[in-house]
Amino acid sequence: MKVSVQAVAVWGKAAPSHSITAVLITDDQQTVVTGSQEGQICLWDLSSDLKISSKEILFGHTASVTCLAKARE
């Protein structure tokens, strides 16, 4: 069974100033989480028509964020 996946640009018309190194989409597909080479974690709201808007930027990592995983409930 072949599954097609639609590509989504998570930054709109202009790329962010940080280098995205990891991406995670929540199970409800309403939030995208990105990790960056600069150590930032960004949360993005994803609408049903695939429009993305920034929600939060988390600072504090001293190294690149190269992997993201969700915690168990």
Q: Are 68 and 35 in contact (CB under 8 A)?
A: yes
Express each pLDDT in 21-41 by its tens digit.
999 999 888 999 999 988 889
Q: Which helix (H) or strand (E) holds 35?
A: strand 31-36
pLDDT higher than 70, residue 49: yes
More confident residue, 70 or 8: 70
Closest CA to 23 of 32, 14, 31: 32
Q: Report pTM.
A: 0.71
What's the chain's average pLDDT?
80
Residue listed under structure tokens 């018309």: 13
Q: Percent of the chain at pLDDT above 70?
A: 75
Beta bridge partners of 45: 31, 53
> What's the pLDDT at 33?
93
